[in-house]
Amino acid sequence: MAVKLETRYLDGFVREHELTSLQAQVNVAHEMLHNGTGLGNDFIGWLDLPVNYDKDEFARIKAAATRIKEDTDVFIVIGIGGSYLGARAAIEFLKSNNYNAKKKDTPDIYFAGNSISGAQLAELLEICEGRRVSINVISKSGTTTEPAIAFRVLREYLENTYGHEEAVRRTYVTTDKARGTLKALADREGFETFVVPDDVGGRFSVLTAVGLLPIAVAGCDIDALMKGAADAREALVDPDLANNDCYRYAAARTALHRRGRAVELMVSYEPQYAMMSEWWKQLYGESEGKDGKGLFPASVIFSTDLHSLGQFVQDGSNILFETVVKFDKAPRELLIKEDAENGDGLNFLAGKSMSFVNEKAFEGTVLAHTDGGTPSLVLNVPAMDEASLGWLIYFFEKACAISGYMLGVNPFDQPGVESYKKNMFALLGKPGYEEARVALLARLGQ
């Protein structure tokens, strides 16, 4: 079980010696990460998380998930950024992007507090009507505005629907172990709480209670998920680029960036991978996009987007490279049947599986894009199951840290995220932002 990297489609774009010459920088990045001497070294708890996690809390997560599966029809996960993307990505990867519409013995799962859209929240309240609802509010800081607003609205809904005691029983809180408004509120009300460890940042937190509770509620095997990550942790420690595909991926994307590529386009041929790309975009965008540097992470689903963005990738400005995530085994198979009349002319596909056709679409596309000036990295993943997902999560997290150190940034902070918040608070009239408000209003001509 391993994620394997293929670099053959770099031929003509990056020479092998450009990768091997990065070995010395990879070694330094590896030492910084493993010895805890790099920037942001107080946020590297995710490195050992697959083995070094709170086993009692893990058991509590499973118990809570069992209870929620029994007493809940609609489970609402409130959170934004790293407090939302991982759980949603994992559930769609493992269960389907049509999870809620499927026949199942687990609750529907909705995500709230990841925008400031009143329309979405109002619609969710309608969806809840007449159904048994539980909520899991997730915020490491416990102070983020988007989830705080959604939590206020949904708490009121639970209080009005169930009364205080039952509303408390149906509320699960995942936050810092001691700090923040949410923690104080949880202690006061007596909500069951789970912890985001101090040394794990939001976008690296999917394998903590942040991701694990919603993932378990969806009926996924979180033991197998942690095992996959633990296997990756054990396998991806050799700094030698010849033996470590995670580091080789970090080196290859670094080499492509230095060759002038500005955008890394994550590609999958399975629609249920789309949210994993969103998770990956946050992981890499927030970790590398700073100090005026970084690759812009973007994503597509093929062949869907071959009919929209495909033209640009093939024939537009050569700013991109692709990272294609492929699965050795499709999540499900469907055979194309023979049709006696062959009115649609498709009998040349009779007896073939959809995954065979998808494979040919990949092969045709990767060669066409190479001809068009867009190189590709290919990650081969065994299956869309828990073990592969755990491995993939760890693989991307570690490659992100190594890439970030090679880029010379702190991969574990996100100072840029604060700028919009300060302006928004000032414009909303939050106490303490009076001076900034005057300046912003002048700039807006108000």
CA atoms of 219 and 201, how far apart (whole Å): 25
Tokens describing residue 339: 């049709």
The minimum distance between CB 170 and ligand PA5, in angstroms, equals: 21
Q: Are the C-beta atoms of residues 320 and 265 closer than 8 Å to each other? A: yes
The minimum distance between CB 147 and ligand PA5, in angstroms, equals: 6
397 touching ligand PA5, by CB under 6 A: no
Binding ligand PA5 by CB under 6 A: which of 106, 134, 144, 268? Answer: 144
Least Cα distance to 404 among 24, 14, 32 occurs for 32
Nearer to ligand PA5, 96 or 141 (CB): 141
CA atoms of 184 and 189, how far apart (whole Å): 9
Q: Are the C-beta atoms of residues 244 and 238 closer than 8 Å to each other? A: yes
Nearer to ligand PA5, 173 or 255 (CB): 173
CA atoms of 344 and 334, how far apart (whole Å): 18
Nearer to ligand PA5, 201 or 390 (CB): 201
Stretch that binds ligand PA5, among 134-142, 271-279, 288-296, 381-389 (CB under 6 A): 134-142
Nearer to ligand PA5, 5 or 33 (CB): 33
Q: Are the C-beta atoms of residues 112 and 402 closer than 8 Å to each other? A: no
The minimum distance between CB 420 and ligand PA5, in angstroms, equals: 11
CA Rg, the chain, in Å?
23
The minimum distance between CB 81 and ligand PA5, in angstroms, equals: 3
Tell me which residue has its CB nearest to ligand PA5.
202
Q: 173 forms bridges with which residues in the sheet?
A: 137, 193
Binding ligand PA5 by CB under 6 A: which of 40, 45, 50, 201? Answer: 201
Tokens describing residue 7: 């670099």
Over the window 263 to 302, marking each residue x when it contacts ligand PA5 by CB under 6 A and - when it does not, the resulting string is -----------------------x----------------
The minimum distance between CB 290 and ligand PA5, in angstroms, equals: 13
44 touching ligand PA5, by CB under 6 A: no
Phi, psi of 112 (to 5 degrees): -130, 165
Nearer to ligand PA5, 145 or 347 (CB): 145
The minimum distance between CB 140 and ligand PA5, in angstroms, equals: 4
Tokens describing residue 266: 């994550």
Q: Are the C-beta atoms of residues 218 and 91 closer than 8 Å to each other? A: yes
Binding ligand PA5 by CB under 6 A: which of 114, 139, 299, 370? Answer: 139
Over the window 73 to 92, marking each residue x when it contacts ligand PA5 by CB under 6 A and - when it does not, the resulting string is -------xxxx---------
Q: Binding-site residue total for ligand PA5 (CB under 6 A)?
A: 15
Nearer to ligand PA5, 202 or 228 (CB): 202
Nearer to ligand PA5, 151 or 302 (CB): 151
CA atoms of 169 and 295, how far apart (whole Å): 44
SS (H, E, C) 165-187: HHHHHCEEEEECCCCCHHHHHHH
DSSP secondary structure letter of residue 308: T
Least Cα distance to 210 among 230, 195, 232 occurs for 195
The minimum distance between CB 64 and ligand PA5, in angstroms, equals: 19
203 touching ligand PA5, by CB under 6 A: yes
Please count the CA atoms within 13 angstroms of the CA of 22 that sit on its side-chain side: 27
Q: Which residues are catalytic?
A: 286, 307, 421
Phi, psi of 195 (to 5 degrees): -110, 135
Q: Which residues bind ligand PA5 (CB under 6 A)?
A: 80-83, 139-141, 144, 147, 201-203, 286, 414, 417
